[in-house]
């Protein structure tokens, strides 16, 4: 792993002197144990996905030392988290909670405000508190990864009975991904919709130094809440869980999650479509199939170039010119792959016993073949290392890491996503594809779009792969992203999630009725976190102390 000394020294948070900060850190060491508080005063260490740093974004869009922690603390209990919150309020030091910190493409483990103290919750609070094999639910602490939950099912001999749902990369936490409203690829792919119950440490401190912990839904019952905490997400009264996702209103210490019963069989399928212009008619075919659950999972419709890049070779193997790789070159190289030349690839899975799958797969096959030149790829012809099998594992609940391979496309390969949401309509897919193509051409960057189709909407995920050492390319990537966000907003599309660096811009597009939504978020922020210590700026929400003081990007 590559290590470089810090250029700008210990990143002290604004508004506190170095001496006061160091003495505050010593105070925290005394309460938590010196070994659980680490100053970030020496070096930048990058590593790779499975050894990702917890102090900064290892795929930085700006200077590495812009979004960086001054220290990392490792709480071992909810009591420790309360201690940290009390401490931060006393010294007005910004905190930034992470569970695992592998939120790559969206900021990794980096805090939004330079010099924040990162609370690495996952390091010590990583227990699976419960797996209920009758109700098909579980309760986890922050550090439980998709891999760990899967391994636990295997260890308990439950993996044949129930599945987890994993995102493209399984090394992140169930909690972090769910709170950031990430998706996976079984019918339980909408993680937020599938969760049930949170335990949250609130950021404010009462008059006698008390820090409040609350449980949402049925967990709020005085006695016996745990009986139904993971079965019924709503409880009584306002449904509060939402304000703790994509926000900075609380530190989540427990999360309930539902698990999927083994459907009794599964079968991946893959179709290719020859022309880029097949996109719109294909999306029109997909919509009714998806809404009626004939297409059962959040499937992916990927551009051919992604199928090429996920082979893991650098782009220079295929092309060393500047500007986006020409279409004929992409096609020429795809022709030599097991899945052949195409513009689009659809990866899906059918669930259930063979006769039930047959019924659905026949309909899909007939419908997809309305696109001329559509090809079903027979999985038995595909080698074991073909990317198809990675999608097959993921869609059947087995965590995987293959998806990382397309980062090799560029030297010092890093990625950052543009992720707008639209209805499942041909015209919308075309609008988004066109605006992305135009902006990528302007920026001279390869376009790798994938449409992830949910039940009534789709996310377009455009991952820009850039060279983290190439300042010029990072500038072009940033401009490309910002232009796409603006173009999309003018056409009525908003992002479902974004990188730390772009959160103000994206939040700014959700400004209907004189910014009513952000005003509401600000009201909540000021009430729950009056000292503004928790993750200032995350998702565009700034505490009063920072608001309109030049922090927005």
Known catalytic residues? 106, 496-497
| Residue 100 binds ligand ADP (CB under 6 A) | yes
Least distance (Å) between residue 293 CB and ligand ADP: 28
Compute how many residues bind ligand ADP; rule: CB under 6 A. Answer: 21
CA distance 383 to 519: 54
Least distance (Å) between residue 525 CB and ligand ADP: 14
Q: Which is nearer to ligand ADP, 80 or 428 (CB)?
A: 80
Spatial contact of 185 and 283, defined as CB atoms under 8 Å apart = no
Q: Which helix (H) or strand (E) holds 199?
A: strand 195-201
> Is 538 in a helix, a strand, or coil?
helix
Q: Could you give the string, one character per residue 284-323, with x where binding to ligand ADP holds by CB under 6 A and - elsewhere? A: ----------------------------------------
Q: Could you give the string, one character per residue 355-394, with x where binding to ligand ADP holds by CB under 6 A and - elsewhere? A: ----------------------------------------
| Residue 203 binds ligand ADP (CB under 6 A) | no
Q: Are strands 266-273 and 375-376 parallel, antiparallel or unpaired?
A: antiparallel
CA distance 259 to 153: 10
Q: C-alpha distances in angstroms, 378 versus 48, 114, 344, 383?
A: 34, 51, 16, 11
| Residue 282 binds ligand ADP (CB under 6 A) | no
Q: Which is nearer to ligand ADP, 142 or 204 (CB)?
A: 142
Q: Which is nearer to ligand ADP, 168 or 446 (CB)?
A: 168
Ramachandran sector of residue 178 (left: φ over 0; alpha: ψ -120 to 50; beta: rest): alpha
Q: Which helix (H) or strand (E) holds 421?
A: strand 420-423
Q: Which stretch binds ligand ADP (CB under 6 A): 31-39, 92-100, 356-364, 450-458?
A: 92-100
Site for ligand ADP in 244-263 (CB under 6 A): 251-252
**Alpha carbon of residue 294 to chain centroid:** 26
- DSSP H helices, 268-348, are 279-291, 304-309, 327-335
CA distance 44 to 66: 12
Least distance (Å) between residue 132 CB and ligand ADP: 22
| Residue 102 binds ligand ADP (CB under 6 A) | yes
Least distance (Å) between residue 538 CB and ligand ADP: 6
CA distance 478 to 484: 10
| Residue 170 binds ligand ADP (CB under 6 A) | no
Q: Which stretch binds ligand ADP (CB under 6 A): 175-183, 258-266, 363-371, 411-419?
A: 175-183
Least distance (Å) between residue 104 CB and ligand ADP: 8
Query: What SS3 string covers 72-90?
Result: EECCCCHHHHHHHHHHHHH
| Residue 179 binds ligand ADP (CB under 6 A) | yes
Spatial contact of 211 and 95, defined as CB atoms under 8 Å apart = no
| Residue 99 binds ligand ADP (CB under 6 A) | yes
Q: Which is nearest to 465 in space by CA: 410, 513, 503, 420?
A: 410
Q: Which helix (H) or strand (E) holds 177?
A: helix 174-179
Angle at 240 between CA 234 and CA 243, to 5 degrees: 140
Site for ligand ADP in 105-144 (CB under 6 A): 109, 121, 142
**Half-sphere exposure of 462 toward its Cβ, with a 13 Å CA cutoff?**
24
Determine which residue in the list 11, 60, 101, 532 makes contact with ligand ADP, applying CB under 6 A.
101
Q: Which stretch binds ligand ADP (CB under 6 A): 129-137, 170-178, 314-322, 424-432?
A: 170-178
Q: Which residues bind ligand ADP (CB under 6 A)?
A: 97-103, 109, 121, 142, 172-173, 175-177, 179-180, 251-252, 535, 538
């Amino acid at each position: 792993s590559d290590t470089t000394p810090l250029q700008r020294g210990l990143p002290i948070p604004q508004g506190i002197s170095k001496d006061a900060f160091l003495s505050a850190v010593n105070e925290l060491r005394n309460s938590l144990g010196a070994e659980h508080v680490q100053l970030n005063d020496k070096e930048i260490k990058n590593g790779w996905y499975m050894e990702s740093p917890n102090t900064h974004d290892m795929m930085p869009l700006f200077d590495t030392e812009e979004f960086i922690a001054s220290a990392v603390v490792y709480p071992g209990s909810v009591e420790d988290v309360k201690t940290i919150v009390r401490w931060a309020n006393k010294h007005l030091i910004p905190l930034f909670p992470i569970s695992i910190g592998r939120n790559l493409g969206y900021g990794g483990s980096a805090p939004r405000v330079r010099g924040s103290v990162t609370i690495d919750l996952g390091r010590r609070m990583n227990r699976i508190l419960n797996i209920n094999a009758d109700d098909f639910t579980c309760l986890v602490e922050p550090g439980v990864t998709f891999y760990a939950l899967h391994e636990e099912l295997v260890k308990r001999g439950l993996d044949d009975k129930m599945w987890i749902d994993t995102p493209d990369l399984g090394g992140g936490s169930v909690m972090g991904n769910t709170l950031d409203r990430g998706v996976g690829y079984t019918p339980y792919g909408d993680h937020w919709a599938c969760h049930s119950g949170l335990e949250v440490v609130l950021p404010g401190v009462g008059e006698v130094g008390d820090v409040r912990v609350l449980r949402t839904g049925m967990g709020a019952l005085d006695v016996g809440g745990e009986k139904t905490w993971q079965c019924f997400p709503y409880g009584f009264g306002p449904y509060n869980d939402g304000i703790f996702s994509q926000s900075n209103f609380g530190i989540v210490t427990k999360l309930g999650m539902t698990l999927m019963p083994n459907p009794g069989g599964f079968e991946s399928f893959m179709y290719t479509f020859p022309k880029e212009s097949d996109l719109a008619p294909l999306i029109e075919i997909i919509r009714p199939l998806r809404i009626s659950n004939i297409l059962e999972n959040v499937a992916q419709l990927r551009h051919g170039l992604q199928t090429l890049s996920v082979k893991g070779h650098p782009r220079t193997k295929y092309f060393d010119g500047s500007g986006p790789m020409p279409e004929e070159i992409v096609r020429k190289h795809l022709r030599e792959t097991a899945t052949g030349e195409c513009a689009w690839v659809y990866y899906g899975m059918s669930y259930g016993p063979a006769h039930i799958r047959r019924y659905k797969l026949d309909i899909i096959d007939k419908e997809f073949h309305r696109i001329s030149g559509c090809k079903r790829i027979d999985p038995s012809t595909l080698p074991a290392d073909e990317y198809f099998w990675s999608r097959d594992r993921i869609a059947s609940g087995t965590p995987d890491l293959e998806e990382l391979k397309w980062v090799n496309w560029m030297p010092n390969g890093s990625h950052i996503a543009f992720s707008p949401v639209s209805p499942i309509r041909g015209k919308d897919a075309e609008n988004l594809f066109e605006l992305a193509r135009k902006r990528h051409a302007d920026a001279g960057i390869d376009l790798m779009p994938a449409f992830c189709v949910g039940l009534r909407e789709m996310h377009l995920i455009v991952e820009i792969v850039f060279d983290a050492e190439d300042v010029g390319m990072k500038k072009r990537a940033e401009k490309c992203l910002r232009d796409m966000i603006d173009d999309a907003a003018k056409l009525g599309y908003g992002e479902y999630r974004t990188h730390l660096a772009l959160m103000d811009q994206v939040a700014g597009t959700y400004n209907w009725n004189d910014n009513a939504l952000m005003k509401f978020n600000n009201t909540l922020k000021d009430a729950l976190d009056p000292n503004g210590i928790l993750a200032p700026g995350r998702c565009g929400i700034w505490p009063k102390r920072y608001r309109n003081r030049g922090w927005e990007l």
